[in-house]
Amino acid sequence: MNGLRIVPVGDDVTLLDWQRVHNEIIPTAPLSVDEIRERRTRNVLEVAYDGDVLVGCSTVRPPSAETSAAVVIARVLPAYRRRGFGAAIYEHCLARGRELGDGIETHILSSNTDGLRFAKAHGFAEVETYLLPGDTVPFVELRL
């Protein structure tokens, strides 16, 4: 890592970078620019760069009516995994999530075996598996 920078999605460049990472890692639920702009009003969306190179993105979702836990999601592009980026992004998001909620959850596409392995190695336990309407690949909900 040359110098990991984690910056909020605040302009079109960072929004498109966030979209690129999200849609590559979650191809079953791609998001449009308008959907991301709407999510940005409810969630903390950030993009991670190694110097000037895009390596990942994150989402921190505040607690909702359904749960008092914050949802923390760290995504790293496959070419940059196993270099410490995921741990750094995760720790950054975890601090923010702990400020917002009584617990921490994450949601990972079941086909993302790297992400599931990472979450379990960092103390998350599987709570449930669910399928979004129209999807064929389920998500796994995990709690810390």
Three-state DSSP class for residue 139: strand
What is 4-143's CATH number? 3.40.630.30
Tokens matching residue 48:
């991670």
pTM: 0.89
* pLDDT bucket at 67, cuts 50 / 70 / 90: confident
Q: Mean pLDDT across the chain, nearest whole number?
A: 92
Tokens matching residue 136:
């064929």
Query: Where are the chain's structural domains?
Result: 4-143
Give the mean pLDDT of 72-95: 93
pLDDT score at 64: 85
